[in-house]
């Protein structure tokens, strides 16, 4: 996975510089932008990290930015900074997917901690998504019959039951089961079941 970056978006130079200093001091890589438009214009193909944005900015507001990220299906944690009296906007931002918000003047230690938490949670989520993609790829290598056997295993059925349901011999089920374990790279039946649950399939699809 590429290095995580904290993207700071604020039209206030002092706020941008303050955040950049705070985050850099905590060994977090940052990129700053004076507008949401500038950020969107330079958006990398695969965004990796966290976004900190002011909620009230000219042209494209923090709310509009959140909506744009949602429309583009860009899933990164967003922390919103609000001015005094902008709490209703912050609540709206949370409803649009922001993970946290801070009122100005914000506590530096708390915002750094929030960024670190957001990045940690995002990495876990990104790792899970990558694992799902890999498991879907493995699942695609199974034959129709192997998927039927997998569905029986996930349902908790013994080989004899699976054999009866599919009209084949228990020995044949054992062969298919071994093939499924190999193709899915599962070390045990419990691991195979966990894989199937993770991709959210009954293996018949």
Domain range annotation of the chain:
5-127, 141-199
Q: Taking all residues of the chain, what is their mean pLDDT, rounded to a whole number?
A: 88
Task: Specify the CATH number for 5-127; select among 3.50.50.60, 3.40.50.2300, 3.40.50.920, 3.40.50.720.
Answer: 3.40.50.2300
* Residue 200: closest CA among 154, 165, 153, 146: 154
Measured CA to CA in angstroms, residue 89 lies from 86, 102, 125 at distances of 5, 12, 27
Q: Which stretches within the chain are classed as H helix?
A: 13-25, 36-41, 62-71, 87-95, 108-139, 144-154, 159-166, 170-184, 189-199
What per-residue confidence (pLDDT) applies to 43?
84
* Cα distances (angstroms) measured from residue 20 to each of 64, 110, 114: 23, 15, 15
pLDDT band with cut points at 50, 70 and 90 for residue 2? low
The class of domain 141-199 in CATH terms is mainly alpha
pLDDT exceeds 50 at position 1: no
Tell me what pLDDT residue 78 has.
Answer: 94
Provide the pLDDT confidence category of residue 204 given band limits of 50, 70 and 90: very low
CA dihedral 148, 149, 153, 158 (to 10 degrees): 130
Confidence of residue 203 (pLDDT cuts 50, 70, 90): very low
- Nearest Cα to Cα of residue 118 among 82, 80, 71, 76: 76
- At residue 76, φ and ψ (nearest 5 deg) are -130, 150
Q: Is 72 exposed, middle or buried (0-12, 13-18, 19+ CB in 10 A)?
A: exposed
- Stated as kind and residue range, the H or E segment containing 44 is none
């Amino acid at each position: 996975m590429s290095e995580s970056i904290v993207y700071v978006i604020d039209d206030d130079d002092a706020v941008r510089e303050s955040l950049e200093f705070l985050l850099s001091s905590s060994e977090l890589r940052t990129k700053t932008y004076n507008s949401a438009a500038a950020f969107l214009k330079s958006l990398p193909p695969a965004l990796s990290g966290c976004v900190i944005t002011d909620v009230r900015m000219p042209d494209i507001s923090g709310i509009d930015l959140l909506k744009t990220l949602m429309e583009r299906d860009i899933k990164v944690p967003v922390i919103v900074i609000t001015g005094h009296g902008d709490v209703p906007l912050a609540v709206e931002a949370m409803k649009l997917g922001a993970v946290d918000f801070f009122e100005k003047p914000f506590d530096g230690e708390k915002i750094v901690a929030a960024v670190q938490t957001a990045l940690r949670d995002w990495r876990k989520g990104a790792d899970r998504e990558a694992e799902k993609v890999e498991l879907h790829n493995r699942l695609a290598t199974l034959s129709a019959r192997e998927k039927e056997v997998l569905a029986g295993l996930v349902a908790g059925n013994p080989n004899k039951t699976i054999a009866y349901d599919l009209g084949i011999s228990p020995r044949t089920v054992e062969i298919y089961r071994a093939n499924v374990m190999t193709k899915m790279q599962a070390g045990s039946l419990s691991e195979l079941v966990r894989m199937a649950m993770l991709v959210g399939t009954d293996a018949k699809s």
